[in-house]
């Protein structure tokens, strides 16, 4: 079974219920875990309404709401959701998608396909590649800043080519998730990079290109009302430095120098 975590912070206005229910019918064997991260609006009521409607429409629907008493940020909220999901012995895959559905939930089927087709794959990342045949609607400024960010991170920290580290849609096998979500994250918004670093350390004797698969998304739409604040952007270079340091230490501890 796939456990799909959706972190929600003050999503009462932005959350598109119609869109959510249009996906739900097609997704069998998916357990939705909404993590309400200390929202101060009516997100709690919205999620409860969704849960009841989903059950009314389909008694087998699986929707869980985790209410965190205070706001801990996306990284910690996703981690809470994943740790909760891993307690279920039926869990084969865990995944997280943003609540604005910039990545449509229907993409999850492609994620599962690519991981099932090759059992060396442990992680699938949605990748916003603008190419013929895909519909990636992203503002020019975000596209270009994203490309610069990815290039810097690839060259300085990861030393491998990941086209899109920051896409909010990812899936992991149980075995991988049990390891990489064990420890809390350093950063609120760069935890995707921390996850990649943890994967590098965990599978250091294997070919990382076979472990991580980037799935080009068919559709991705920028939804606006981003919750990343300017203050968060300013913190990113220092957080990247901390992640880099931690990576070096973790490799040293495991006997490998970078
Ligand atoms: N748990 C938690 N989730 C948050 C917080 N802030 C944002 N989120 C969630 O993180 C996800 C992404 O937030 P967005 O505001 O869409 O981020 P974005 O800047 O639009 O990022 P892109 O969509 O990738 O461009 C959503 O599911 C939010 O609800 C927070 O403080 N805590
Ligand atoms: Mg968004």
| For residue 258, pLDDT beyond 60 | no
Instruction: Tell me, in angstroms, the distance from the centre of ligand 2 to residue 43's CA.
Output: 16
What is the percent of the chain with per-residue pLDDT over 90, rounded to a whole number?
77
* R_g of the chain, CA atoms, integer Å: 18
DSSP secondary structure string for all residues of 182-221: SSPPS-SS-HHHHHHHHHHHHTTTS-HHHHEEEEE-SEEE
Atom 19 (ligand 1) nearest CA: 226
Q: Which residue has the tokens 């070919």?
A: 207
Q: What is the reported pLDDT for 24?
A: 83
Ligand 1 atom having least distance to the Cα of 99: 27
Tokens standing for residue 80: 């809470």
How many Cβ atoms from other residues are within 10 Å of residue 99's Cβ?
A: 24
The answer to whether 8 and 98 have CB atoms below 8 angstroms apart is no
Predicted confidence (pLDDT) per residue in 157-196, tens digit = 888 899 999 999 999 999 999 999 999 999 888 999 999 9
CA dihedral sign of residues 225, 230, 232, 237: positive
CA–CA separation, 215 and 95 (whole Å): 14
First vs last C-alpha separation in the chain: 37
Average the pLDDT over 5-15 and give the result.
96
- Per-residue pLDDT at 125 exceeds 90: yes
Q: Does 5 sit in the ligand 1 pocket, CB within 6 Å?
A: no
Give the residue-averaged pLDDT of 59-75: 95
The pLDDT score that the predictor gives to residue 41 is 97
Q: Name the closest-CA residue to atom 1, ligand 1.
A: 74
- pTM comes to 0.94
133-165 residue pLDDT tens: 999 999 998 899 899 999 999 988 888 899 999
Segment 25-37 shows an average pLDDT of: 90
Q: Could you say which architecture CATH assigns to the domain 2-253? A: Alpha-Beta Complex (3.90)
The best mutation among 96, 98, 144, 193 to test binding of ligand 1, ranked by most ligand atoms within 8 Å of the C-beta, falls on 98
Domain boundaries, the chain: 2-253
Q: How far is the CA of 50 from the centre of ligand 1 (A)?
A: 19
Amino acid 153: pLDDT: 92
What is the arithmetic mean of pLDDT over 118-132?
97
**pLDDT number for residue 90:** 94
Q: How confident is the model at residue 245 (pLDDT cuts 50, 70, 90)?
A: confident
Does residue 257 surpass a pLDDT of 60?
no
> Minimum-distance ligand to the CA of 99?
1
For residue 214 and ligand 1, the question of a CB distance below 6 A is answered with: no
pLDDT in tens, 183-229: 999 988 899 999 999 999 999 999 999 999 999 999 999 987 777 77
- Predicted local distance difference test score (pLDDT) of residue 79: 98
């Amino acid at each position: 079974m796939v456990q799909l975590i959706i972190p929600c912070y003050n999503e009462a206005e932005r959350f598109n219920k119609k869109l959510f229910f249009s996906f739900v019918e097609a997704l069998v064997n998916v357990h939705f875990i909404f993590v309400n991260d200390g929202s101060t609006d009516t997100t709690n009521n919205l999620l409860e309404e969704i849960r009841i409607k989903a059950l009314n429409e389909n008694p087998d629907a699986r929707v869980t709401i985790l209410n965190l008493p205070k706001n801990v940020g996306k990284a910690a909220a996703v981690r809470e959701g994943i740790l909760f999901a891993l307690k279920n012995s039926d869990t084969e895959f865990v995944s997280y998608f943003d609540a604005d559905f910039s990545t449509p939930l229907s993409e999850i089927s492609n994620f599962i396909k690519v991981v099932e087709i090759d059992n060396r794959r442990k992680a699938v990342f949605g990748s916003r590649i603008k190419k013929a045949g895909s519909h990636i609607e992203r503002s020019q400024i975000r596209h270009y800043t994203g490309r610069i960010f990815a290039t810097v991170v690839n060259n300085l920290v990861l030393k491998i080519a990941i086209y899109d580290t920051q896409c909010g849609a990812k899936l992991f096998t149980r075995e991988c998730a049990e390891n990489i979500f064990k420890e809390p994250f350093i950063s609120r918004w760069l935890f995707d990079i921390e996850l990649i670093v943890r994967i590098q350390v965990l599978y250091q004797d294997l070919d990382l290109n076979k472990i991580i698969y980037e799935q080009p998304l068919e559709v991705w739409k920028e939804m606006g009302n981003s919750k990343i604040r300017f203050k968060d952007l300013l913190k990113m270079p220092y957080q990247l430095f901390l992640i880099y340091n931690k990576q070096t230490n973790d490799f040293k501890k495991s006997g490998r120098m970078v």
